[in-house]
Chain A
Amino acid sequence: MKPDPLPPSMESIRLWSGVECPNEAARLGLADHLGLLKELAALRGTLVFEDEPSSFESALRAEQEKES
């Protein structure tokens, strides 16, 4: 049987953020992360070494409509 990943996640949140799980819905929401983790795992290898956050603003300017 695979170990339940939620208790260590909740312990990690408590350790790093000092935030306790507030309710059952939060626990369910955390479980919902497993789907997101799969999607993110599928994206591994796409980040380029030189990529950095500020490239977004330059992309906004660069991708404007060109005069036709």
Chain B
Amino acid sequence: MRALHELSMTEAADAVARGEVTATALTEGCLARIAAHDGKVNSVIRLDRDSALEQAAAVDAARKAGKPLGPLGGVPMMHKDMYYRAGKVTTCGSKIRRDFVPKVTATVLEKLDAAGAIDMGTLNMAEFAQNPTGHNAHFGHCHNPWQHGYCTGGSSSGSGAGIAARFFYGALGSDTGGSIRLPATICGVTGIKGTQTRVSRAGVMPLSFSADNVGPLVQTARDAARFMRIISGHDPRDATSAREAVPDYEAALTGDLRGISVAVPQEYFFDGADDVVVKAFDAALEAMRDRGATITRLSCPSLRAIAAYTAMISRAEGAAIHAEWMRERAADYSIHLSSRLYGGYPIPAHLYIEALSRRGPLLRQFCAEAMTGHHIVATPALRTRVPTLAETDIDADAANWSRFMAVSANTRPFNYLGLPTISVPCGFDDRGLPIGLQLAARPFAEARVLAVADAFQRVTDWHKRHPAL
């Protein structure tokens, strides 16, 4: 067997189920890697060492007794520190909630518990999930495991960095403008957000009621398929969650791309793109073509409107959610966050409502333009090479504002559209930092994006590489 930290989430779960490795051995391995290397990555906020070992021992005892294990039985995980667990501090990466103890447990955590996953603790994140870079003035910036001093992507910074560093096998992130897909891209791992309303948000810190999504960061598309099946589905505690049936996503992973048509919009997503990113993206398209897919470059005029409206909704909703603290405790936010929140207040109500009202029609228009006869829309997940923490640090220099905001340009439109979207690694730049391929499909076609991503990963090995720590 390979080294334990090289196993994917599904490989680790299946190895425990077969008795080839114990949950205790997996957990001890994760704890040892975190102890050895997280000093320079800074992905962890709270490590529940004793609890993790107790959970692992319980899984091993259950297996020994012949009891069935769940589909994630014995797999160590950690999650972005915004998922409430009753009685445990949930900081939301903030000073304001540094001592917040929720009274409820998030539905997604309950589902992962029921699937047998081991919860080892909580992960660093952007303050209140509000930046795309991984900066955190209160808990320290999270550093890219591939190169110290570079962004991890945010807001699920610890989730992306920790998976890349092989500190654990799966992690929850959240995605309102790219906060799963960006750290997945920038850290060289796999991350998916489902269709808007696909996964329950009960017991999850809100950022934007209309655009928040819960989803996983993992090594492989197969991992994401298993993870998504467990956490997806209607939840009586979240009235907004969808009632559509959740298929067996893993069963859809055939590796076959014959008959799959991939559309590549020519507007917007390539504005100011770096050559090295475009080259890696084109090579990824070729890999899919070799596997049987057809590639069509097309025009998608609705994107300009989508991009403009995207910015309105999360800004206005974030401003409303944080209004009391912005009045009373503005100095307790980092500079970059209070400055972003402030930008939400001048948005007039009629424009916010216009942005919401145009969402349905623009979704229909986008599907007509990009998905008529096509199954998948492909774009680079990040237009540029990975920036450094310094050159996107607004707290240090307000002039970094535009570089900071540009990081999420390619991911935000899919939050407005509410489409299932995945990011998978598709190369490295000239400095050895990852590049990501973004794949989207029609609403509730998570199985489609997962199947295409899995087929891509069967003929590439970008997702198997991990940094030397």
Q: Is the CB of A29 within 8 A of B357?
A: no
Question: Are A26 and B343 CB-contacts (below 8 A) given A40-B351, A57-B197, A60-B444?
Answer: yes
Shortest A38–chain B CB gap in Å is 9
A-chain residues with CB within 8 Å of residue B304 when the two chains form the complex: 39, 42
Question: Are A29 and B327 CB-contacts (below 8 A) given A48-B361, A51-B360?
Answer: no
Q: Is the CB of B330 within 8 A of A20?
A: yes
CB-defined interface of B308-330 with A at 8 Å, one 1/0 digit per residue?
11011000000100010011001
B139: CB under 8 A from chain A? no
B-chain residues with CB within 8 Å of residue A24 when the two chains form the complex: 398
Q: Is the CB of A53 within 8 A of B357?
A: yes
- A39 to B444 Cα, complex, angstroms: 30
- A13 to B307 Cα, complex, angstroms: 24
- A63 to B445 Cα, complex, angstroms: 10
Question: Are A22 and B357 CB-contacts (below 8 A) given A29-B401, A56-B363, A65-B442?
Answer: no
- A20 to B311 Cα, complex, angstroms: 22
Chain B, interface SS category: helix
Not counting A22-B338, A40-B308, A55-B357, a sample of 8 additional A-B residue pairs whose C-beta atoms are within 8 angstroms of each other reads A17-B323, A19-B342, A22-B339, A32-B401, A53-B360, A55-B360, A63-B364, A63-B371
Q: Is the CB of B363 within 8 A of A29?
A: no
Could you give 12 example pairs across A and B, Cβ below 8 Å? A13-B342, A22-B333, A32-B402, A53-B360, A55-B360, A56-B363, A60-B197, A63-B364, A63-B367, A64-B244, A64-B445, A65-B442
Q: Is the CB of A16 within 8 A of B375?
A: no
CB-defined interface of B389-425 with A at 8 Å, one 1/0 digit per residue?
0000011001101100100000000000010000000
- A28 to B336 Cα, complex, angstroms: 11
Q: Is the CB of B353 within 8 A of A53?
A: yes
- A20 to B367 Cα, complex, angstroms: 42
- A33 to B401 Cα, complex, angstroms: 12
B356: CB under 8 A from chain A? yes
Instruction: State how many residues of chain A have any CB contact under 8 Å with chain B.
Output: 41
Shortest A40–chain B CB gap in Å is 6
- A67 to B364 Cα, complex, angstroms: 18
A-chain residues with CB within 8 Å of residue B309 when the two chains form the complex: 43
Question: Are A63 and B442 CB-contacts (below 8 A) given A12-B346, A17-B323, A53-B357?
Answer: yes
- Pick from A33, A53, A55, A63: contact of B443, CB under 8 Å: A63
A-chain residues with CB within 8 Å of residue B17 when the two chains form the complex: none
A-chain residues with CB within 8 Å of residue B441 when the two chains form the complex: 65
Q: Which of B304, B346, B354 has the largest number of chain A CB atoms within 10 A?
A: B346
- Pick from A28, A33, A59, A64: contact of B398, CB under 8 Å: A28
B-chain residues with CB within 8 Å of residue A9 when the two chains form the complex: 346
- A67 to B360 Cα, complex, angstroms: 22
Shortest B133–chain A CB gap in Å is 14
A1: CB under 8 A from chain B? no
A-chain residues with CB within 8 Å of residue B448 when the two chains form the complex: 65
CB-contacts of B286-319 with A (<8 A): 304-305, 307-309, 311-312, 319
Question: Are A29 and B308 CB-contacts (below 8 A) given A59-B360, A65-B448?
Answer: no
Q: Is the CB of A62 within 8 A of B330?
A: no
- A22 to B197 Cα, complex, angstroms: 34
CB-contacts of A1-49 with B (<8 A): 9, 12-13, 16-26, 28-30, 32-33, 36, 39-40, 42-43, 46-48
Q: Is the CB of A17 within 8 A of B345?
A: yes
Shortest A12–chain B CB gap in Å is 6
Q: Which residue of A has the minimal Cβ distance to B240?
A: A57
Q: Is the CB of A43 within 8 A of B308?
A: yes
Question: Are A26 and B339 CB-contacts (below 8 A) given A19-B323, A40-B351, A63-B442?
Answer: yes
Question: Are A59 and B364 CB-contacts (below 8 A) given A22-B330, A29-B343, A30-B346?
Answer: yes
B-chain residues with CB within 8 Å of residue A25 when the two chains form the complex: 335-336, 339, 394-395, 398, 401
A-chain residues with CB within 8 Å of residue B402 when the two chains form the complex: 32
- Pick from B356, B367, B444, B445: contact of A56, CB under 8 Å: B356
CB-defined interface of B77-112 with A at 8 Å, one 1/0 digit per residue?
000000000000000000000000000000000000
